[in-house]
Structure 1
Amino acid sequence: MSVRVLIVDDQAPFRDAARAVVEATDGFDVIGESSTGEASVDATRQLKPDLVLMDVNLPGINGLDATRRILRDSNGVVVVLLLSTYDEEDYASKAAECGASAYIAKSRFDPDRLTAAWATATKPSVNSSHDPGP
C-alpha cells in the first residue's frame, strides 16, 4: 500500500518538482495538489492523504496555520512535512510548534529525505505504547 501524498505550494514549478520527487520515490503516490493554505485544508478533508508536503509561504493562511488546522481536523492522523526556501535552522522549531513532523529546505528535498522523514514521522514512539507495568 502506497503513501498518499498531497502537495501544497503556490508555485507551479515547485509543485512539478515535488511531484517528480514523490513519483521517483518507491511507495509514494501523489493524490492531489493545492496552491493555497485554505485549499490544502479542504483537499485534506476530501482526499484524506497520509502525507502533506506543505510550503510555508502561501496566499491566504500560511503553511504553519494550515498545518495546525489540518492536524486538528485529522486528529493528528496526517503527517505534515514543511518545505520552504528558508534555512532549516530557522524553521525546525517553527515546524515543531505547529505540529509538523519535519522541516526540509526545498533545495534538499529528494527521495532519500522524503523516505527518511516519513520513516521518522511514522516510527512508533516509546511514549505511545501503553505498558501497564507489573
Structure 2
Amino acid sequence: MGSVEVLIVDDQAPFRAVARRLVALVAGWRVAGEAESGEDAVALAVQTRPHVIVMDINLPGISGVEATRRILADQPGITVVLVSTYAAEDLPPGASDCGAAGYIRKEDLTPARLRASLAAMRPPMPWTPAPGGVDDEQR
C-alpha cells in the first residue's frame, strides 16, 4: 500500500517544521500538506484526502476542535489527533467529543507517541505502516 498521508495544521511555522520532521522519521509516512487556520484545514482536507491530521486546538478563525468536526462530518475515515500545550484536564469545551482519535501535548509528540495514539484509539487501518524504519527508543 502507499504512504500514510499526513496533514499538519498549526498556526506556528516552527511547530509545523518540527511536525514535518517527525512525519519524515516514520517509515511509510509523508506530509500531504500544511494549513495555518481551521478554515484552511477544512479546505485542504477535502483537496488532499489525508489519512491522518495532526491538528492544533488553537487556530485563527475556527478552532481545531470545530475544524475537526467539519472535516469528520465530510470524511469520517480520517484520523485526527489534536495537539496543543494544554494539560489534558485543561482542554477547551468540545475537545473530548469532536471526533478526534486522541490528544497529545506538543512537547510529548514523537513518532512513537503518534503511532501509539493512533493504534490505541482506532482498530488497525489498512494504511497502518509495518513496524520498523525508525528507532522509537531513541526519541
What RMSD, in angstroms, separates the aligned Cα atoms of the two structures? Answer: 1.6
Determine helix, strand or coil for the equivalent of 1:43: helix
Partner of 2:3: 2
1:11-90 matches, cutoff 5 A: 11-74=12-75, 76-90=76-90
Are the counterparts in 2 of residues 8 and 54 from structure 1 also a CA contact under 8 Å? yes
Alignment of 1:98 onto 2:94? no
Partner of 2:112: 112
Q: Which runs of 5+ in 2 are unaligned?
A: 125-139
Name the stretch that deviates more: 76-85 or 90-99.
90-99
Are the counterparts in 1 of residues 102 and 118 from structure 2 also a CA contact under 8 Å? no
Scaled by the length of structure 2, the TM-score of the pair is 0.83
Structure 1 outlier segments of 4+, above 3 Å: 92-95
In 2, distance between residues paired with 1:7 and 1:44? 10
Determine helix, strand or coil for the equivalent of 1:86: coil
For these two proteins, the number of residue pairs brought into alignment is: 123
Deviation, structure 1 residue 94: 4.2
**Matched-pair identity in %:** 49
Deviation, structure 1 residue 84: 0.3
- Mark the structure with the bigger radius of gyration: 1
In 2, distance between residues paired with 1:18 and 1:118? 16
Structure scoring higher RCO (CA < 8 A, sep ≥ 6) equals 2
